[in-house]
Amino acid sequence: MSLVAQAFEASKIVPDVIPVAPIKNIELKYPSGAIASQGNELTPTQVKDQPSVTFEAEADAFYTLVFTDPDNYDGPELVYREWHHWLVGNIPGGDLSAGETLSGYIGSGPPQGTGIHRYVYILYKQPGKLDFDEKRLTNTSIDSRASFSTKKFAEKYNLGAPVAGNFYRAQFDDYVPQLYKSLGA
């Protein structure tokens, strides 16, 4: 079992978010200098800006990147649990900037008193170029981000098993209120 798969299973991302762990790593480097590494702890301040994303890709394939927080809600109704922070589809080869942004990047913002959250990046190889019918969201819109399900999203678009992944953990810091203000929350 790969180190990525081991980390995803040990942190219960499998089965909380996806049924099968990815094998390969997504490299995530933030403008702050922070690097995500299979569960290390980063601060919301360190991850407030969109990272550079690098992954092993086939030049003629299309990919979908999902960035989600499965610890958004810790109540009895799991449907509210997952909140997606970034969705990019139809990524040609490894060129994320040429992909179709479905939801603009929003950094981590765990509410005060909710403890540490897992922030998960999952990459899927698409069966071909797709026609996504998701509502397009800017990086200042929180519409339709709650009650997300990576598993259902992957099933809807027939994405199959994830090919790569990475995650970090974060908890509240002084940047979070600024993030909420920018989102009108």
pLDDT in the model for residue 80: 56
- pLDDT tens string 94-117: 999 999 999 999 999 999 998 999
- pLDDT tens string 17-59: 999 999 999 999 999 999 999 999 999 999 999 999 999 999 9
Residue 125 vs residues 71, 140, 142, 178, 184: alpha-carbon distances, Å: 25, 28, 26, 35, 34
pLDDT in the model for residue 89: 98
Decide if 25 contacts 31 (C-beta within 8 A).
no
Cα separation, 9 vs 97, in Å, equals: 30
Sequence-separated (6 or more) residues with CB below 8 Å from residue 66: 84, 86, 87, 120, 121, 122, 123, 124, 150, 153, 154
Quick one: 93 exposed, middle or buried, by C-beta within 10 A (0-12, 13-18, 19+)? Answer: middle
- What is the DSSP track for 40-72? EE--TTTTSSPPEEE----TT-EEEEEEEETTS
Cα separation, 39 vs 37, in Å, equals: 6
- pLDDT tens string 144-174: 898 899 999 999 999 999 999 999 999 999 9
pLDDT in the model for residue 78: 54
H/E stretch holding 132 reads none
CATH architecture type of domain 3-183:
Alpha-Beta Complex (3.90)
Task: For residues 2-15, give the mean pLDDT.
Answer: 96
Provide the residue ranges of all domains of the chain, joining segments of one domain with +. 3-183
